[in-house]
C-alpha cells in the first residue's frame, strides 16, 4: 500500500514523539546516576531540557494541523490517516502531560510547590478523561455506534496545545508581569480552561454514548 505525504507526516510525528519519550527516559536515568539537573536560562526560570521539549512539542503540534490540511487540500484522506492522526495527537499531548506531572517529583534538586501539585492534578485529570472517553468510544465503535465529536473536544485539544508550552516554559513570559504570580496567572488560566474543556467534553461524550451501556445501540450518523 502506497502511503501519501499527509500520512507520512503523521507517521513522522509519531516517531518524533517516540524519540521524545526515549529522551525523557535517558535524562531521567542520567539524573538518577549523576544527580545532574538542567541548567536554567538566565533568570527566566526556564530549564534548558524543558525548552528543548517545548520546541519539539510545538513543532509536532504544527504538523498536526499540516497533515490534516494537506490531506483535505489534495483529497488524500485515507482510513490509515484517520486512524493514525488521533493516536498521534493523544501520544503527543498525554505523554507530555505525564512527563510534566511526574518530572518535578522525581528530578533531583527539584522541589515541588503547591502550584506544581495543582498543575499535576489538572494534567492527570485530563489524561484520565482521555482514557475513559477513548475506552467508551472503542466499545461503542465495536457495536457499530459512532459517538460524534463535539466542539468542546476540539477546544480542549486547542487549549492543551496552547497551555502545555507555557507550562514547560515555567509560565514565561507571563511570569515577568509580577514575580508573585509564580507560573503566571494567564498560564494557569489557560491550563484551567483546557481542564474545564476536557471535563465538559468528556461528560458530553459519555452522555452521547450512554446507549451503548444501556443497551440502546442506535447508530449515530454523525462522524467523529
- Contact (Cβ atoms closer than 8 angstroms) between residue 217 and residue 148: no
Dihedral over alpha carbons 160, 165, 167, 171 (to 10 degrees): -120
Give the cell for residue 206.
459519555
Q: How far apart are CA 132 and CA 101, in angstroms?
A: 19
Alpha-carbon separation of residue 175 from 148, 163, 164, 183 (angstroms): 39, 14, 15, 6
Using a cut of 0.85, tell me whether the model's pTM lies above it. Answer: no
User: Is the pLDDT reported for residue 108 higher than 60?
Assistant: no
Mean pLDDT of 174-179: 63
- Contact (Cβ atoms closer than 8 angstroms) between residue 70 and residue 113: no
Q: Please, which pLDDT band fits residue 36 given cuts at 50, 70 and 90?
A: very low
| pLDDT given for residue 180 in this prediction | 57
Bridge partners of 40, per DSSP, are: 47
Mean pLDDT of 24-51: 64
Q: What is the pLDDT of residues 68-78, one digit of tens each?
A: 888 888 888 88
Angle (CA) 22 24 29, round 5°: 95
| Region for residue 161 given its phi and psi (left: phi exceeds 0; alpha: psi -120 to 50; beta: otherwise) | alpha
Amino acid at each position: 500500500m502506497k502511503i501519501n505525504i499527509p500520512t507520512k507526516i503523521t507517521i513522522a510525528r509519531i516517531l518524533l514523539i517516540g524519540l521524545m519519550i526515549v529522551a525523557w527516559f535517558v535524562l531521567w536515568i542520567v539524573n538518577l546516576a549523576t544527580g545532574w539537573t538542567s541548567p536554567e536560562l538566565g533568570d527566566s526560570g526556564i530549564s534548558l531540557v524543558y525548552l528543548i521539549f517545548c520546541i519539539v512539542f510545538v513543532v509536532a503540534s504544527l504538523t498536526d494541523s499540516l497533515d490534516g490540511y494537506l490531506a483535505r487540500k489534495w483529497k488524500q484522506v485515507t482510513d490509515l490517516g484517520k486512524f493514525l492522526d488521533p493516536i498521534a495527537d493523544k501520544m503527543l499531548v498525554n505523554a507530555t502531560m505525564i512527563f510534566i506531572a511526574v518530572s518535578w517529583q522525581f528530578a533531583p534538586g527539584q522541589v515541588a510547590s503547591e502550584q506544581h501539585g495543582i498543575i499535576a492534578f489538572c494534567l492527570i485529570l485530563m489524561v484520565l478523561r482521555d482514557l475513559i472517553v477513548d475506552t467508551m468510544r472503542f466499545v461503542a465503535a465495536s457495536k457499530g455506534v459512532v459517538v460524534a465529536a463535539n466542539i468542546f473536544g476540539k477546544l480542549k485539544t486547542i487549549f492543551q496545545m496552547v497551555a502545555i508550552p507555557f507550562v514547560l516554559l515555567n509560565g514565561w513570559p507571563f511570569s515577568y508581569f509580577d514575580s508573585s504570580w509564580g507560573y503566571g496567572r494567564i498560564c494557569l488560566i489557560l491550563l484551567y480552561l483546557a481542564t474545564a474543556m476536557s471535563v465538559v467534553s468528556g461528560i458530553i461524550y459519555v452522555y452521547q454514548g450512554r446507549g451503548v451501556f444501556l443497551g440502546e445501540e442506535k447508530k449515530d450518523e454523525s462522524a467523529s
